Amino acid sequence: MWLIRLAWKNIWRNKSRSLITMAAIFFAVILSVVTSSLQDGVFDNLIKNMVSFYSGYMQVHKKGYWDEQILDNSFAASPKMEQETLSGKNITAVSPRLESFALASSVDITKGCLVVGISPEGENKITRLNEKIIAGNYLHEADNGVLLSDGLARRMQLKLYDTIVLIGQGYHGSTAAGKYRIQGILKFGSPELNDKALFMPLALAQDFYGAYNQLTSYVISLNENNLLKTTAEELRLKLGKEYEVMTWEEMMPEVAQHIRTDTASSKIIEAILYLLICFGIFGTLLMMMVERKFEMGMLVAIGMKKHKLAALLLLESIFTVVTGCLLGILVSMPVVIYLNRHPLRMSGDMANIYERFGFEAVFPASTEATHFITQGIIVLLIGFLLSLYPMARVIRLKPVNAMRR
pLDDT value, residue 354:
65
Contact in structure between 213 and 76 (CB atoms under 8 Å): yes
**What's the CA gap between 124 and 118, in Å, rounded?**
9
Give pLDDT, residue 121: 92
Convert the chain into a string of H (helix), E (strand) and C (coil).
CHHHHHHHHHHHHCHHHHHHHHHHHHHHHHHHHHHHHHHHHHHHHHHHHHHHHHHCCEEEEECCCCCCCCHHHCEECCHHHHHHHHCCCCEEEEEEEEEEEEEEEECCEEEEEEEEEECHHHHHHHHCHHHHEEEECCCCCCCCCEEEEHHHHHHHCCCCCCEEEEEEECHHHCEEEEEEEEEEEECCCCHHHHCCEEEEEHHHHHHHHCCCCEECEEEEEECCHHHHHHHHHHHHHHHCCCEEEEEHHHHCHHHHHHHHHHHHHHHHHHHHHHHHHHHHHHHHHHHHHHHCHHHHHHHHHCCCCHHHHHHHHHHHHHHHHHHHHHHHHHHHHHHHHHHHHCCEECCHHHHHHHHHCCCCCEECCCCCHHHHHHHHHHHHHHHHHHCHHHHHHHHCCCHHHHCCC
Contact 366, 47 (CB under 8 A): no
End-to-end CA distance of the chain: 33
Distance CA 99, CA 215 (A): 8
Q: What pLDDT was estimated at residue 50? A: 66
Domain boundaries, the chain: 2-51+256-402, 64-240
- In order along its 405 residues, the chain shows pLDDT tens digits of 677 777 777 777 777 777 877 887 888 888 888 888 888 887 777 777 667 667 888 999 999 999 999 999 999 998 888 888 888 888 888 999 999 999 999 888 999 999 999 999 999 888 888 888 999 999 999 999 999 999 999 999 999 999 999 999 999 888 899 999 999 999 887 777 888 999 999 999 999 999 999 999 999 988 887 788 899 999 998 888 899 999 988 888 877 777 777 777 777 877 887 787 787 777 777 777 777 777 777 777 777 777 777 777 777 777 888 888 888 889 989 998 988 888 877 777 766 766 655 566 677 888 888 888 888 888 788 878 887 877 777 777 777 776 665
Position 182 scores a pLDDT of 95
SS3 for 280-340, per residue? HHHHHHHHHHHHCHHHHHHHHHCCCCHHHHHHHHHHHHHHHHHHHHHHHHHHHHHHHHHHH
